[in-house]
Structure 1
Amino acid sequence: MKRIVLLLIVVIICSCQGNKKHEEGNSQMQKVMAIHDEVMPKMGTLGKLVSQLKDKVDTTATGKQYQQAMKDLQKSNSAMMDWMKGFGDRFDSDEILNGKELTPEKQAWLDEEEAKVKALKEQINTSIANAEKLLANSEEKIFN
């Protein structure tokens, strides 16, 4: 009888730990998607800034700064598209949207994707900030 109770306790503990790991993976997926959802709306800003910078590109030193800022924005946009494609190739909709339990291999992939999306967020925010600063400085020169 003691063995049955002990075995039952071990099974309950193991199943609770398994559920905890599943919840951690699901929470991590939600975190990755939240980062994506935070930066995705900024894709329109990238396009708008590229258009504004394009008109200012020329052969002068300042014109080359505009060109570099424009290239950085375009790289950020491409990086987002590449990340989304790669992420979609690795995970199915049940894993992304419904918290379907991940295999150990997919959990390792999710760890990689979390690092990638954090770097992507930084890249997008930095390229936008740099372009906006450059454009603001050009506006100040016009009004001074």
Structure 2
Amino acid sequence: MIASMLLMALIYACGTGSAGGQEQQIENEMMAAHDRIMPKMGELNDLYKEMRQYLFLDTTMTMETRERLSMVTVNLKESEEEMMNWMNGISDLAQKKTTMKSEELIKYLTEQKNEINRIGDFTDKSITEAKTALAQRKK
């Protein structure tokens, strides 16, 4: 009887640890994505300012070019706003860890990891587009 109870406790503990390990792994991946993107926010802001100045000062560009470059500028700003919104949304993670069931937490963390990866891709794309536009201007 005691051996049976010990075996059940061991099985339960392993199962719980596995879910906890999965939660931690997903959270680590999510935070690694955040940590990859966060240092780019300064560059993103600098590019945004430079693009705005370019749009304001260059009176010779065509309307089509102005619209395209305006969209690049908007994407830079949206990328920053999405990052800030994501960070504000994830700020209650410690509370969620104590109130959510393991399956719910895994689902939540996976969704947040996917979202921060999407934001990272959007940030990279926005930076590349702005750099390309500014490099063409200087030619």
Structure 2 equivalent of residue 133 of structure 1: 132
8 Å CA contact 1:25, 1:101 repeated in 2: no
Structure 1 equivalent of residue 39 of structure 2: 41
8 Å CA contact 1:29, 1:110 repeated in 2: yes
Matches within 5 A, 1:88-127: 88-89=91-92, 91-92=93-94, 103-104=101-102, 105-127=104-126
Q: Secondary structure in 1 aligned to 2:127?
A: helix
**Structure 2 Cα separation of the partners of residues 111 and 51 of structure 1:** 34
Structure 2 equivalent of residue 13 of structure 1: 11
Q: Which has the higher contact order (CA 8 A, sep 6+)?
A: 2
> Unaligned regions of 5+ residues in structure 1, if any?
none
Question: Would the alpha carbon gap of residues 30 and 23 (structure 1) be closer, same or farther in structure 2, given more than 3 Å must change?
Answer: same
Q: Percent identity?
A: 25
Counterpart pick for 2:50 among 14, 33, 52: 52
Pairwise CA distance, 1:109: 1.5
8 Å CA contact 1:56, 1:63 repeated in 2: no
Q: Secondary structure in 2 aligned to 1:56?
A: helix
**Structure 2 Cα separation of the partners of residues 50 and 123 of structure 1:** 14
Count of matched residue pairs: 133
Pairwise CA distance, 1:131: 0.8
> Unaligned regions of 5+ residues in structure 2, if any?
none
Q: Match for 1:68: what amino acid? A: M
TM-score, length-normalised on structure 1? 0.81
Question: Would the alpha carbon gap of residues 72 and 46 (structure 1) be closer, same or farther in structure 2, given more than 3 Å must change?
Answer: same
* Correspondence 1:68 to 2:71: yes
Question: Would the alpha carbon gap of residues 93 and 35 (structure 1) be closer, same or farther in structure 2, given more than 3 Å must change?
Answer: farther
What root-mean-square deviation, in Å, do the aligned CA atoms of Structure 1 and Structure 2 show?
2.2
TM-score, length-normalised on structure 2? 0.84
For residues 17-70 of structure 1, the C-alpha deviation after alignment (integer angstroms, 9 at most, x for no partner) is 211211111121111111111101111111110111112215622222221111
Q: Secondary structure in 2 aligned to 1:92?
A: helix
8 Å CA contact 2:23, 2:105 repeated in 1: no
**Structure 2 Cα separation of the partners of residues 122 and 42 of structure 1:** 12
